[in-house]
């Protein structure tokens, strides 16, 4: 009935969304999303403001639970288990499915502690120094900060801060990294660095990114999902989901075409 679907691929699925509805109190913000996220690929969520793409992203690691009244219906299967089953602890989910936020938000602590804290509270046993270095190297930040690990994370530039947040997320060794408009607060050079980093990271992680920037989605992602608000009930819905090249060059849905060609609104 909808254009929800899954592009054919040989890869495995990292997450399987089945008829997901997101609510804030009594308001349904997102309705009927069916989506299979490909493992070790970058999937971009695009769409105009208020279309529910961020809401869907947050529901993937139960961050919506933190919003008073936030609630999800439907099933999101991760390793064959529904994330919203009563016996699933959201704290456990969030370690395995990490998140990077729109605005860089390092802790007001040293660079070292920024990374070590997440590991510590999750019970990491091992060489903490090694873990910090490895995480910073993965986030392509090591060379820039290796001499000032004891300085505050807030002293870094915006792009560096965002990479620190990525390193922090990597340190808990997640399988999936969710990125909520990670470059919207950054300049173009810092943005390109993050995109390069994403291409590097996707070798080991599944990445889901929400972006307003269609060039970014086109440049960086393997798959793209387009969301749009249904004007009748103001609920966001998934309009089209497919390989990025195919979706941008040959959209199946008229609404998608309008959006990517700039005729929307």
- Interacting residue ranges for another protein, rule: CB under 8 A: 61, 63, 66, 68-69, 91-96, 98-99, 101, 103, 105-108, 117-118, 121-122, 152, 154, 165, 168-169, 172
Closest separation in Å from C-beta 170 to another protein: 11
Q: Quick one: 106 or 236, whose CB is closer to another protein?
A: 106
Q: 234 with 26: CB under 8 angstroms?
A: no
Closest CB 60 distance from another protein, rounded Å: 12
DSSP 151-208: SBGGGS-HHHHHHHHHHHHHHT--SEEEEESTTTTS-HHHHHHHHHHHHHHTTTSEEE
Query: Least distance (Å) from another protein to the CB of residue 151?
Result: 11
Q: CB-based contacts of 167: which residues, under 8 Å, 6+ apart?
A: 115, 135, 136, 138, 139, 141
Closest distance of CB 254 from another protein, Å:
37
Identity of the residue, 36 or 62, whose beta carbon is nearer to another protein in the bound complex: 62
What b/e readout covers 119-150, taking b as 16+ CB neighbours within 10 angstroms? Answer: beeeeeeeeeeebbbbbbebbbbbebbeeebe
Question: In this structure, what token pair is assigned to residue 84?
Answer: 């919203």
For another protein, which is the closer residue by CB, 159 or 251? 159
**Distant-in-sequence, close-in-space partners of 85: CB < 8 Å, separation ≥ 6:** none
Smallest separation (angstroms) from another protein to the CB of 185: 11
From CA 248, how far away is CA 78, in angstroms rounded?
Answer: 28
Specify the residue, 11 or 69, whose C-beta has the smaller distance to another protein: 69
Query: Which of 7/158 has CB closer to another protein?
Result: 158
Least distance in Å: CB of 77 to another protein?
Answer: 20
Pick between residue 91 and residue 249 the one whose CB is nearest to another protein. 91
């Amino acid at each position: 009935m909808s254009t929800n679907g899954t592009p054919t691929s040989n890869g495995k699925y990292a997450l399987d969304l089945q008829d997901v509805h997101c609510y804030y109190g009594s308001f349904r913000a997102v309705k009927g999303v069916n989506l299979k996220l490909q493992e070790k690929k970058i999937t971009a969520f695009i769409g105009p403001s208020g279309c529910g793409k961020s809401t869907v992203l947050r529901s993937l690691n139960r961050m919506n639970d933190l919003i008073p009244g936030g609630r999800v219906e439907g099933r999101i299967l991760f390793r064959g288990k529904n994330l919203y089953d009563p016996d699933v602890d959201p704290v456990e989910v969030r370690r395995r499915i990490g998140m990077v936020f729109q605005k860089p938000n390092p802790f007001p602590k040293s660079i070292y502690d920024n990374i070590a804290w997440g590991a510590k509270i999750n019970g990491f046993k091992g060489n903490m120094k090694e873990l910090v270095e490895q995480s910073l190297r993965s986030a392509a930040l090591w060379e820039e900060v290796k001499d000032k690990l004891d300085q505050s994370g807030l002293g870094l530039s915006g792009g560096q801060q965002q990479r620190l947040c990525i390193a922090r997320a990597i340190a808990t060794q997640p399988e999936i990294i969710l990125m909520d408009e990670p470059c919207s607060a950054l300049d173009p050079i810092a943005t390109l660095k993050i995109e390069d980093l994403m291409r590097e990271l996707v070798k080991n992680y599944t990445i889901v990114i929400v972006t307003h920037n269609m060039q970014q989605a086109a440049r960086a992602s393997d798959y793209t999902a387009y969301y749009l608000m249904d004007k009748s009930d103001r609920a966001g819905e998934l309009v089209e989901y497919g390989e990025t090249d195919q979706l941008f060059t040959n959209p199946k849905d008229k609404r998608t075409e309008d959006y990517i060609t700039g005729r929307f609104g």
